[in-house]
Amino acid sequence: MELTSLHPTGAESAEKRVGMNQKLLKQLIRQSLAEDIGSGDITTRYSVNPSLRARGVIIAKEDMVVCGLEIVKLVFKEYDRSLRFKAACSEGAWVRKGKIVAEIEGKVISILPAERTALNFLSFLSGIATKTYRFVQIAKGYKVKILDTRKTIPTWRILQKYAVRVGGGGNHRWGLWDGIILKENHLTSLGIKHKKGGFQETILRNLISNLKKATAKKIEVEAENLGEFLSIARCQPDIILLDNFTLSNIKKAVQLRNQYFKSIKLEASGRINIKNIRKVAAAGVDFISSGSLTHSFSSCDVSLELIV
């Protein structure tokens, strides 16, 4: 199965696919190669005949969604432009254990130094895409979008969010510049929410009104319980984030929204996992966001085997 409808076509470059300009992408690849190779691969340098050529196959060692093929190609080409790379499946393809996903051909002294960096990109991004795909499949049949969060590795956000898209998920805001979410600390610092209890709806209502005049961005507000949910809903934000709500309270929030606040979208987040995501989706929320897609996934097992 291939997820070709969920991401750009194979004819597009890595730059278009990922959303990272070529200069930044190459810089990241160069830094990654330098980190691993340093002053040189001394094992290969002192043990392999410089004229020896081989074909290598990259094999999926488990069932997985393949993500990062174009980046793997760029890694090998960055090290030695004479290396020949050929993808054996499409980006976003679901493959079974043992499937050859790509081939690389050329001098062994060029393949081996770049091998680990290339595989690291592939296994890491495929891990995110695979977990996202599983979440999406479990929630299938309900009108809910599975989203990532900002819980990403610094400097890797674009790549991680790309992998989420390849897996069939969607991207939440890219950064603080890309959306307004009033969370607990915002509400507390503005005097809207008090630790001893109480919620100042008037202050929040005025704030949301002013924000709507100042920006076209959607305005989202975090609620930690049903009481806060009702107070926030009466202030008419675009989206309410149901943070760590129990399933029972998610259902109650959805019922209240459907009855009294039909224009407001609901996002569930916190403690979402493979075991409960379908129940949360069935509750009727519009979005489910999970930081685990990019911070608690398992890299996929892939290997490169040379045929001399």
Q: Following DSSP, what letter does each residue of 141-203 receive, concatenated?
A: TSS-EEE--S---TT-HHHHHHHHHHTT-B---SSGGG-EEE-HHHHHHTTSB-TTS-B-HHH
pLDDT at 151 over 70: yes
Give the percent of the chain with pLDDT over 70.
Answer: 94
- Residues 164-211 have pLDDT tens digits of 999 999 999 999 999 999 999 999 999 999 877 789 999 999 999 999
Instruction: Using alpha carbons, list the distances in angstroms from residue 74 to 28, 29, 58, 68, 91.
Output: 11, 8, 15, 10, 14
- Do 165 and 284 lie in a common domain? yes
How far is it, in rounded angstroms, from Cα 111 to Cα 105? 8
Same domain? For 180 and 261 the reply is yes
pLDDT the model gives residue 306: 97
Looking at residue 20, its pLDDT comes to 67
Write out pLDDT tens, residues 86-137. Answer: 999 999 999 999 999 999 999 999 999 999 999 999 999 999 999 999 999 9
Residues 108 and 207 in one domain: no
Element (H, E) at 54: strand 53-60
Contacts of 250 (CB under 8 A, 6+ apart): 242, 268, 280, 283, 285
Q: Are the C-beta atoms of residues 116 and 36 closer than 8 Å to each other?
A: yes
DSSP code of residue 87: E
Domain assignment of residue 25, given as a range: 4-130+297-307
For residue 177, what pLDDT is reported? Answer: 92
pLDDT at 7: 38
Q: In this predicted model, which residue has the larger pLDDT, 197 or 82?
A: 82
- CATH code, 94: 3.90.1170.20
Residues 107 and 191 in one domain: no
| Those residues with Cβ within 8 angstroms of residue 83's Cβ, 6 or more apart along the chain or in another chain | 76, 77, 104, 105, 106, 107, 110, 111, 114
Assess contact for 153 and 128: CB atoms under 8 A: no
Q: Do 92 and 220 belong to one domain?
A: no
Nearest CA among 304, 305, 303 for reference residue 62: 303
- Do 152 and 252 reside in the same domain of the chain? yes
Q: What is the pLDDT of residue 22?
A: 79
Mean pLDDT check: name the lowest of 12-16, 37-41, 73-77, 255-259.
12-16
Cα gap 125→164, rounded to integer Å? 9
Mean pLDDT of the 20-35 span: 89
Domain match, 142 and 279 both = yes
Report the pLDDT value the prediction gives residue 15, as an integer from 0 to 100: 64
Task: Say whether both 80 and 160 belong to one domain.
Answer: no
Query: Residues 177, 279: one domain?
Result: yes
| pLDDT score at 195 | 73
- Whole-angstrom distance, CA of residue 64 vs CA of residue 126: 7
Question: What pLDDT score was predicted for residue 3?
Answer: 42
pLDDT interval class at 21 (50, 70, 90): confident
Please give the single-letter amino acid code of residue 88: A
Is the pTM higher than 0.75? The answer reads yes
Burial class (CB in 10 A: 0-12, 13-18, 19+), 23: exposed
Angle, to 10 degrees, between the axis of helix 226-233 and the axis of helix 247-260? 20
Angle subtended at Cα 256 by Cα 254 and Cα 261, rounded to the nearest 5 degrees: 95
146 and 269 part of one domain = yes
- In the structure encoding, which two tokens stand for residue 285, read together? 């929320």
Mean of pLDDT over the chain? 93
CATH assignment at residue 274:
3.20.20.70
Catalytic residues: 116, 151, 183, 222, 243
Tell whether 115 and 232 lie within a shared domain: no
Number of domains composing the chain: 2
Average pLDDT, integer, range 254-265: 98
Q: Are residues 118 and 145 in the same domain?
A: no
**pLDDT value of residue 215:** 95
